[in-house]
Structure 1
Amino acid sequence: MPLFAQDPVVSDGDKYSVLFENDKVRVLDYKDMPGEKTHEHSHPAFVLYALVPFKRKLMLPGGKVIMREFKAGDVLYSDAQTHVGENVGETPTHVIMVEMKSGMSMGVK
């Protein structure tokens, strides 16, 4: 994973917007249309909540490709990741992402 891949709000500000941010998390709203693709960017560990059904292709550094299909209400956890995302379905993508900031304590003992 490149150490200096761009913040998605910078690389794709037309698709990502910040809904909330503090020292623990950043909450992003992401929307795109079928056929649209992001620039390469990085996320810290995150939780994704799908608001609508959609299908995506994620292209990771080194050539690995991940296909993902979501139903409305699906939730996914991911470790930190750098990728290019592409909407390869027939419906718009709309998700809420909660990015974890480093040093965050989960309060679990």
Structure 2
Amino acid sequence: MSLDPTVTNPEHYKVIFENDKVRVLEYTDQPGDRTTPHTHPDSVMYTLSSFRRRLVSGELQREVELESGTVGWLPAQRHHGENIGDTPTHVVFVELKGASEGASGPDGLGPE
């Protein structure tokens, strides 16, 4: 079974650009929305809205609150999440092709 977020959560993730080097995804959700488990390769994340969410990977749980306009590195990881705030989430991910998919970075979950 594919853990590609566009397959596991097509109502939230949409491919907006792709070539042989990168894939760019747009992510949107509403307060209370949840995703099912999926993986991300090493990526750059750019937040288009301010939001609060809970990310879960196995026994590890992390709550993040990010402001609109935040740019950050997202190490390869597998997780699922929930919008626990009161605003919609709008994010762009630039996924690096050939990067380690589903591996955990030093913190293992969420942006660094």
TM-score interval for Structure 1 and Structure 2 normalised by the shorter chain: 0.7 to 0.9
* 1:93 maps to 2:85: no
Q: For residues 51 and 20 of structure 1, do their structure 2 counterparts lie closer, same or farther at Cα, with a shift above 3 Å needed?
A: same
Equivalent runs, 1:1-109 vs 2, <5 Å: 6-61=3-58, 63-102=59-98
Q: TM-score, with normalisation over the residues of structure 1?
A: 0.87
Distance 1:84 1:34 in 2: 15
Q: What is the DSSP-based 3-state SS (H/G/I as helix, E as strand, rest coil) of the residue aligned with 2:31?
A: coil
Q: What is the DSSP-based 3-state SS (H/G/I as helix, E as strand, rest coil) of the residue aligned with 2:6?
A: helix
Distance 2:85 2:27 in 1: 16
CA contact (8 A) 1:5 1:40 kept: no
**Structure 2: 5+ residue runs without aligned partners?**
100-112
CA contact (8 A) 1:5 1:82 kept: no
Aligned residues between the structures: 99
Root-mean-square deviation (CA, aligned residues, Å) is 1.2
CA contact (8 A) 2:2 2:8 kept: no
Q: TM-score, with normalisation over the residues of structure 2?
A: 0.85
| Segments of 4+ moved more than 6 angstroms | none
